[in-house]
Amino acid sequence: MSLAIRDIQYFLAVAKAGQLSSAAEAQGVTQPALTKAVRRVEQEFGLQIFERSVRGMTLTSAGLRLAEQMRRLQANYADTVLLADAMRAQQAGLLRIGVTDTTAGNRIAAVLGPLLMQRPGLRVRVRVDRSDALAVQVVEGELDLALVPAYEGQPLEAERTKIDNDPMLPLVRAKHPLALRSRLSLKDVANFGWMTGPVHSAAYRALEEIFARHGLPPPTIVMQVPFASEMNLSVLATTDLVTLVPRSFMRHAPDHRFAVLPIAALRIPRAVVLLSRPGSAWSPLMQTLRDNLLALGRS
């Protein structure tokens, strides 16, 4: 095969974006460069791989099958580059990591600092995204590892290494009407608005399923946020909103300002997992990061 790995990269970018302009912007190249790459792929295999229209470019049935194989090829190439980096220098290399948030309590932050000090040649790229999006990027070889929360029954394509348990807890301000009651039920909470992730987030879906099991309408999102943060707590302290926060985040929520509601149904089980590509080789850097995260979880 006479194709370059860059042709494959550009072909997959166009397949993902569905438009040359969007793919060119994402790759930082011109549209003609992508057009030539797509033409080389079609000539190499003697197939029409895109249906072209005024709305963009859609993969043909042959193109869909080809794209699936190309993603595997790209991921294998990424593994090979990673292995070569590791062999060139145990103390150097590139580590591409995905996380779902950038709060101070993120476990990645706790282990990256010492790792960077120990290995001056190490270079790190961090990507912040949703857990399902990061799982896809790991499987496709765009990321080496991703540290994400995982809820019970949540499908994530990548291989998982459990790091710790970090359940979600229902939180309100200390003088919230619900915090002042001696007895509470989930029905009582249904009357209040929520600060939570968007409706497609795993946290909201878990919350919605709990309400549905108890015959209640979906919770009302008053304030939509990407993850738990101290800004959220500032808003929570001055409103009657209800939110869910990870147990690990509770050190930011002092007892005199906030209260965890004693409702068992709203204590949502959740694990912290490290995602890797199934069947891929782990570089020494990846192994060290995993071992440090596991040690942090045990402590």
Q: Which residues pair with 121 in a beta bridge?
A: 92
Same CATH topology for 5-70 and 168-268: the answer is no
- Please tell me the predicted confidence (pLDDT) of residue 248: 87
CATH number of 89-164+271-298: 3.40.190.10
Query: What pLDDT was estimated at residue 76?
Result: 79
| CATH 1.10.10.10 matches 5-70 | yes
How far, in Å, CA of 135 to CA of 52, rounded? Answer: 30
**Chain-centre distance of CA 218, in angstroms?**
24
Q: In what order do the strands lie in the sheet with 121-128?
A: 121-128, 92-99, 145-151, 270-276, 159-165
Q: Which tokens belong to 88?
A: 């060139």
Burial of 189 (0-12, 13-18, 19+ CB in 10 A): buried
Element containing residue 65 per DSSP (H, E): helix 61-88
Mean pLDDT by 10 residues, the chain (299 residues): 79 88 86 87 86 87 87 80 60 82 77 86 88 90 93 86 94 95 91 92 91 95 90 95 92 89 94 92 88 87
What CATH topology corresponds to 168-268? D-Maltodextrin-Binding Protein; domain 2 (3.40.190)
Query: Which pLDDT tens digit goes with each residue over 29-81?
Result: 888 888 888 888 888 888 888 888 888 888 998 888 888 888 888 887 777 77
The domain segmentation of the chain, as residue ranges, is 5-70, 89-164+271-298, 168-268
Give me the pLDDT at residue 3, please: 74
**What secondary structure letter does DSSP report for 226?**
S
> What pLDDT, on a 0 to 100 scale, did the predictor assign at position 105?
65
**Where do the H-state alpha helices sit in 58-201?**
61-88, 107-118, 131-139, 186-189
Q: For tokens 């003609």, what's the residue?
A: 32
219-249 tens-digit pLDDT? 999 999 988 888 999 999 999 999 999 998 8
Q: Are 228 and 167 in contact (CB under 8 A)?
A: no
What is residue 25's predicted lDDT score, i.e. its pLDDT?
A: 86
Rounded to a whole number of angstroms, the distance between the first and last alpha carbons of the chain is 51
pLDDT at 134: 92
The size of the chain, in residues, is 299
What number of other Cβ atoms are within 10 A of residue 1's Cβ?
8
Q: Closest Cα partner for 128 from 83, 164, 97, 151? A: 97
Contact of 252 with 229, CB cutoff 8 Å: no
